[in-house]
Structure 1
Amino acid sequence: MPEKNDSFREMNLKDKTATVAGITLLIILVLGFVLGLYFFGLAGIFKLLGVHYKSIWSLVVFVVSFFILGIIFELFSKTIFKLSVRNITREIWVFFIRISFEVTTNWLVLFTVDEFMHSITLSWKTEIIIALLIALIEIAFDSDKD
């Protein structure tokens, strides 16, 4: 004979649909928040450095492209970084190697996105400054303690 709690454990189609919709909405909100931070952060940096862009949509495409390409580059960069500092014991050397990897990765992503987009043009000095700022912000907010 089934217990009373069995009916509560089984989810019907309506409950499953609501759960999937809720999780999907949460993922969309988190992704939108992160992209919004990147958007307004880069818009502010561009304003401070005097970078001009044709329209707000070109900035949106730039930020989304930077974000997607950055995730791909970051996967390889983090792996190479972890392998590089595996046997290094001095924290200052690990920090310098990490900042080098982060700046180089961010610069490569900025350079690549800038070369493919004609509506935003960054000078190499601006690319390096932005890459350095993003690397410092990423390191400051990184919760990884290795």
Structure 2
Amino acid sequence: MNKKDLPFKKLDLKSKLSVIIGIGLILFVAVAITAFFIFFCVTGFFRLFGVSYESNTSIVIFILLCFLVGAFFEFIEKILVVMVSLSFDNRALYLSLTFTIHFFMNLITFHIVDRIMSSIFIPAHVLLAASALIAFIEVVFDKKHAKSH
């Protein structure tokens, strides 16, 4: 057996460390690219719609709070969407109701985070536009339930 073909358990310490560090660097780069993409998208959206914020740190905190608060409402949202998918056979009605559920859950999430943070001021029309945009994206890319209707 070649050294390249050895299982991970049989590698020496130097090889194990290089494999672990290599995988860690790949994961770090992937997470960093994703985080920068989200940060610059949110920053661009805020500038486009005239949202006022004190610093870039407040945007990062806003994003993290949206993920934390959104995790709770995502659970409720999934339950409601499954209930709708089991209750209605009409595709148009299903899509309308799932859009409405996603829209209101996003709106509640953004509103709560906006009220928690005093360093960011988001006007009501921006909250509505962001919630509608994200809800539309969620409905369009929801292939699992949309194919069954």
Q: Same fold (TM over 0.5)?
A: yes
Give 2:127's aligned residue.
127
Percent identical: 26
**Partners of 1:72 and 1:31 in 2: how far apart?**
22
Once the two structures are superposed, residues 11-46 of structure 1 have per-residue CA deviations (whole angstroms, 9 ceiling, x without a partner) of: 434454444444444443333333333322222221
Once the two structures are superposed, residues 39-92 of structure 1 have per-residue CA deviations (whole angstroms, 9 ceiling, x without a partner) of: 222222211211111111111211222133323321331122112321311111
Kindly report which structure 2 residues correspond to 1:1-146, keeping only aligned pairs within 5 A, or say none: 4=1, 8-9=6-7, 10-12=9-11, 13-140=13-140, 142=141, 144-146=143-145
CA RMSD after TM alignment: 2.6
Distance 1:113 1:22, change over 3 A: farther
Distance 1:64 1:26, change over 3 A: farther
**Partners of 1:60 and 1:47 in 2: how far apart?**
15
**Partners of 2:68 and 2:26 in 1: how far apart?**
19
**Partners of 2:96 and 2:63 in 1: how far apart?**
27
Distance 1:80 1:33, change over 3 A: farther
**Partners of 1:79 and 1:62 in 2: how far apart?**
26
Q: Do 1:35 and 1:63's aligned partners in 2 also have CA atoms closer than 8 Å?
A: no
Q: Which runs of 5+ in 1 are unaligned?
A: none
**Partners of 1:74 and 1:26 in 2: how far apart?**
29
Distance 1:46 1:86, change over 3 A: same
**Partners of 2:98 and 2:76 in 1: how far apart?**
13
1:39 counterpart SS class: helix
